[in-house]
Amino acid sequence: MRHTLVALMEDKPGVLNRISSLFRRRNFNIESLTVGHSETPGISRMTIVTAGDKANIEQVEKQLYKLINVTKVTDVTDEPAVIRELALIKVTASAATRSEITSLVDIFRAKVVDVAPDSLTIEITGTEDKVDSLASLLRPFGIRELARTGRLAMVRGNNGQKN
Amino acid sequence: MKLSGAQIVWESLVREGVEVAFGISGGAVIHLYHALPEYPIRHVLMRHEQAAAHAADGYARATGKVGVCMATSGPGATNLVTGLATAYMDSSPVVAITGQVSSALIGKDAFQEVDITGITLPITKHNYLVTEVEALPMVIKEAFHIARTGRPGPVLIDIAKDVQAASLEYEYPEEVSLPGYRPTLVGNQRQIKQAARLINEAKRPLIIAGHGVMLAGAEAELRELVEKAQLPVVNTLLGISTIPESHPLCLGMGGMHGEAYANKALQEADLILNIGSRFDDRLTGVVSTFVPEAKIVHIDIDPAEIGKNVPVDLPIVGDAKNVLQALIPLIEPASHPDWISKIGEWRAESAERDILEQETDALVPQYVVRHIWHATGGNAIMVSDVGQNQMWEAQYFLHHKPRGLVSSGGLGTMGFALPAAIGAQIGRPEEMVWATAGDGGFQMNIQELATVVQEKLPLKMAILNNGFLGMVRQWQQLFFEGRYSGTPLLGPDFARVAEAYGIPGFTVREKNEVIPAIEQVMATDGPALIDFVIEQEENVYPMVAPGGSIGDMLRRPRIEELEIRN
């Protein structure tokens, strides 16, 4: 089963390497990994999507905790959480197809962020499913480039992972 | 006080209580070595950096203090790797200090540059690259704190050369601030109560006592618990000496080459109380058939060990000493007479198969180890190597003093014994220290004989020389059609090698020479070495076949079985 873990860590050189090295070394799987600053200066926040059974995920959490720079790990899989991913999709668009594409973009509440004579670049934010659906609808037009951030997660309401 | 980076290193080490450092100098640590004579630290010059790491590890295991090793950049640093991995697998508190090329050259493939923090990431508890002198005092403070607290382990500090030369107004921090590192020392009281209930209700309880007992200094608590409720104890290899092996409730080592009756007790127990062992595969054999009858209570300071290898019914995260202190008052006195007498029967059956009960003139290694035990009264610190010699030591030397055995358990590093024994002897100068090794492992760090002489160490060395990489040969004999591929081994005349270094050396080929030779070596003031030329194809019994269950052991045939076969 897929699990979403949110980890907070000190923003020190090599921390990302420590985490990725840990996953490789322990033979844990990573589906996506996203990292950036958190609300606290000096603390980075990482969202990790990993698959495994209960025992695997427990090991992932415990091994992450063993890293000296990791301050907190939470499995938000079963929590009510806002889950988002951002994707940029560059799709082939001629004068004939442009309006069809933009209507799809509207339906998904996505945005056109760049227009070129033969392409459109679309920005979409949402769950992975939503991004997947738009991408699959755009595929017949010709997707030239696709960039996805991987999952970000935040527990709703007051039960967060504040440091 | 204005100090250079190099002076800061030594000054901080002195403040951490360091008295000895094992190392080898080099270009990227030349500033460190230049400052060294100004500080009251004994530097032990080793002949290989791997040996420096093992010596620091041996020192740490024999004393419980942090062992320190030093190496230069590049090859000096990479040579530490095996020693650090050994210390990491066995939770040994070691601080390794390496020189790095100047910070401006990092990443340029400079002469003797290697990314040692990258290389040692998975084999250290933590590591640091220091490129600014301002960071140095806190890094050293943190490194020692991390190495010696919680589940101990090696920490590496890589210091750029220009940092060693730079200067700073020195102030050593009093405290560390590590928000991500807060080991749980005190067990959860509710879980401890539940554990007590399980122990009090058990009919066939059994303790597994591992290295964690020793690391926590919980030997006295373990014994109190054992005696209060008459709980038999099985040791892991590194748990040996946490309870005297002469104790009637001590069943000795379990697992692959453990006592058959200890393994039988594991398999029949209805409750396992694991204190500070990580359910290593050498203990458990195939996990699916391990302790089938038992509920498992697991006490460990490292939460990641709980449920890692074996599912656990009741976990208690905490320091073994604290947890046992909280647990003992809740335990009701008990005696389990049926269970203990059953184990006694299995034990008697095992004794019948003991090779020392068999009449033979052959020079068998078990006889050698048993007589080192006799001669030393079991008081020596034994530092064993890896392979058959390690198992014979574990089986036939009956340890009764805490920290009496130093051995590479998790990594199984050949070449460990001689340098680790150097560290142990320096850490415990009043004790007699023996290094025991096979002829294969001894040759892996034989150069350290020079260190023994230079440091004037009264180290005693025993080589169990069978002309093979013996444990692999045993496997080839039993499981690989007897094809001795890559295992027959030519060695030198070890006694003459010892003599060449200035160490008295003896060769023993006959059984009747064993006791006089051991006595002669023990009467020798300084170091001495005995090369015991043993039976070449003697095996370690009993044995769990690879992939087998610990309840199903290959046993040494009884004498009458041998006679029938002949």
Q: What is the CATH number for B492?
A: 3.40.50.970
Quick count: other Cβ atoms within 10 Å of Cβ B178? 16
CB of B129 within 8 Å of a chain A CB? The answer is yes
- B16 and B80 co-located in one domain: yes
SS3 state at B101 = coil
CB of B125 within 8 Å of a chain A CB? The answer is yes
**φ, ψ (nearest 5 deg) of residue B384:** -100, 160
- B19 and B56 co-located in one domain: yes
What's the confidence (pLDDT) of residue A124?
A: 98
- Expressed in percent and rounded to 5, the helix, strand and coil fractions of chain A are 30, 40, 30
In a domain, B178, yes or no: no
| Long-range Cβ contacts of A22-31 (<8 Å, 24+ apart) | A22/A63, A22/A64, A22/A67, A22/B122, A23/A50, A23/A60, A25/B122, A26/A59, A26/A60, A26/A63, A28/A52, A28/A56, A28/A59, A28/A60, A28/A63, A31/A2, A31/A150
Whether residues B121 and A10 touch (CB distance < 8 A) is answered with no
Q: What is the dihedral of CA B243, B248, B250, B252, to 10 degrees?
A: 120
Q: Give CA separation, A139 vs A132, A144, B180, B299, B537, in Å.
A: 10, 9, 45, 55, 69
Do the Cβ atoms of B366 and B357 come closer than 8 Å? no
- B251 and B284 co-located in one domain: yes
Distance from CA of B314 to the nearest CA of A (A): 15
Domain count, chain B: 3
Residue B549's pLDDT band (boundaries 50, 70, 90)? very high
Q: What is the CA radius of gyration of chain B?
A: 24
In a domain, B182, yes or no: no
- Does the ipTM exceed 0.85? yes
CB of B107 within 8 Å of a chain A CB? The answer is no
- What is the strand order of the sheet B233-235 is part of? B250-253, B233-235, B205-209, B271-275, B295-300, B314-317
- CATH number for the domain whose boundaries are A2-75: 3.30.70.260
Q: Give CA separation, B413 vs B54, B143, B232, in Å.
A: 10, 25, 30
Average pLDDT, chain B: 96
CB of B115 within 8 Å of a chain A CB? The answer is no
- B461 and B362 co-located in one domain: yes
Residue B556's pLDDT band (boundaries 50, 70, 90)? confident
Q: Do A2-75 and A82-152 fold alike per CATH?
A: yes
In terms of C-beta density within 10 A (0-12 exposed, 13-18 middle, 19 or more buried), how is residue A148 classed?
middle
CB of A42 within 8 Å of a chain B CB? The answer is no
SS3 state at B3 = strand
B565: pLDDT strictly greater than 70: no
CB of B172 within 8 Å of a chain A CB? The answer is no
What are the tokens at A139?
A: 């595929």
**φ, ψ (nearest 5 deg) of residue B163:** -65, -35
Is B22 noted as a catalytic residue in this protein? no
Count how many pairs of residues, chain A against chain B, have C-beta atoms within 8 Å.
40
> In chain B, what residues touch A25 (CB-CB under 8 Å)?
122
What's the confidence (pLDDT) of residue B566?
A: 45
Nearest-angstrom CA–CA distance, B393 and A47: 49
Question: CA B132 from chain center: how many Å?
Answer: 35
SS3 state at A84 = strand
Do the Cβ atoms of B150 and B91 come closer than 8 Å? no
Is B480 noted as a catalytic residue in this protein? no
pLDDT above 70 coverage of chain B, percent: 99
B151: pLDDT strictly greater than 60: yes
Q: What is the dihedral of CA B11, B15, B16, B20, to 10 degrees?
A: 60
> Tens digit of pLDDT for each residue in B391-435?
999 999 999 999 999 999 999 999 999 999 999 999 999 999 999
What is the average per-residue pLDDT within B2-22? 98
B65: pLDDT strictly greater than 60: yes
Here the CATH number for the domain that contains residue B250 is: 3.40.50.1220
In a domain, B175, yes or no: no
Whether the bond into B542 is cis, omega within 30 of 0: yes
Range list of β-strands (E), B279-394: 295-300, 314-317, 381-384
Domain span holding position B532: 354-540
> In chain B, what residues touch A9 (CB-CB under 8 Å)?
180
Is B471 noted as a catalytic residue in this protein? yes
Nearest-angstrom CA–CA distance, B558 and B56: 43
Range list of β-strands (E), B385-431: 405-406
What's the confidence (pLDDT) of residue B561?
A: 63
Nearest Cα residue to B387 out of B439, B340, B458, B422: B439
Residue B310's pLDDT band (boundaries 50, 70, 90)? very high
Q: Does the global pTM surpass 0.90? A: yes
- B244 and B142 co-located in one domain: no
What stretches in chain A show pLDDT beneath 70? 159-163
Whether residues B121 and A17 touch (CB distance < 8 A) is answered with yes
Quick count: other Cβ atoms within 10 Å of Cβ B311? 12
Lowest average pLDDT, out of A9-18, B135-144, B452-461, B515-524, goes to A9-18
- B236 and B378 co-located in one domain: no
What is the average per-residue pLDDT within B229-252? 97
SS3 state at B566 = coil
What's the confidence (pLDDT) of residue B360?
A: 87
> Tens digit of pLDDT for each residue in B478-517?
999 999 999 999 999 999 999 999 999 999 999 999 999 9
Whether residues A66 and B302 touch (CB distance < 8 A) is answered with yes
Interface test with B, best of A17, A64, A68 (most B CBs within 10 A): A68
What is the average per-residue pLDDT within B524-553? 95
What is the average per-residue pLDDT within B267-285? 97
- CATH number for the domain whose boundaries are A82-152: 3.30.70.1150
What's the confidence (pLDDT) of residue B559?
A: 61
Residue B564's pLDDT band (boundaries 50, 70, 90)? low
- B377 and B481 co-located in one domain: yes
